[in-house]
Amino acid sequence: MSIGAGRSSFQKTYDGFVKYRILRQSSGARTMPVTLAAFASASLNSMKWTDQGIDDRKNYFSSRLSYTWMLLVARKFSSRFSLQLTPALVHRNLVPTAEDRNDLFTVGAGGRFKITSRMSVNAEYFYIPDGQIVSSEYDAPFSLGFDIETGGHVFQLHFSNAGAFFDPGYLTGTRGQWTNGDIYFGFNISRVFTLKKPEAFREQ
């Protein structure tokens, strides 16, 4: 199980998530063809109502909240190539108009290809069926990334037409287009710290 929290400058949003692996891909006596994980997150928009153009009605704290649920179905086809299918449901307590849906269904697909033992290229695309977002223009988020491992650290370079980094933001609020040069760049450094050796967990 993984637990995380973050803060984004986009809409001054705070978010948290929980991810739990249900099944692990394996072969042999107990063959499991895929890895299956469940993901849930909550997001809080902390911008002032006046900054959002909403100041002529009674506003509630609950209107700041959005939720996302995902099912991650992944398969490693070889030591170099992996694919993942991600059906997701996004619930927004507050939507721009009555015609917009509070609940949106989307499905994503992603892949990873290892160029070398320490470098990989990743891609991800999400599709939202028509009729769910009607009050504003929407573009499907497509992201391209590169992972570089340096013996303990993983450097991640991201290029995307989505300006938001939290789930409801990029799943329902993407406005940029790759063909128009609307490309955002992100950079992460990941480091794993081991407090207890994995063998010790297996012995308990």
pLDDT digits (tens, 9 = 90+) for 82-107: 999 999 999 999 887 888 889 999 99
CATH of the domain at 132: 2.40.160
Q: Name the least confident of 3-7, 72-76, 134-138, 156-160.
A: 134-138
Q: Which residues pair with 28 in a beta bridge?
A: none
For position 83, what pLDDT does the model report?
97
Query: Environment class of residue 72 by beta-carbon count within 10 Å: exposed (0-12), middle (13-18) or buried (19+)?
Result: buried
Residue 40 has pLDDT above 90, yes or no: yes
DSSP 121-167: EEEEEEE--TTS--SS-----EEEEEEEE-SSEEEEEEEES----SH
- pLDDT value of position 118: 92
Domain of residue 53 covers 2-203
Query: Is the Cβ–Cβ distance between 106 and 92 less than 8 Å?
Result: no
Q: 27: pLDDT confidence band, cut at 50, 70 and 90?
A: confident
Average pLDDT over residues 39-45: 95
Query: What's residue 53's pLDDT?
Result: 67
Domain count, the chain: 1
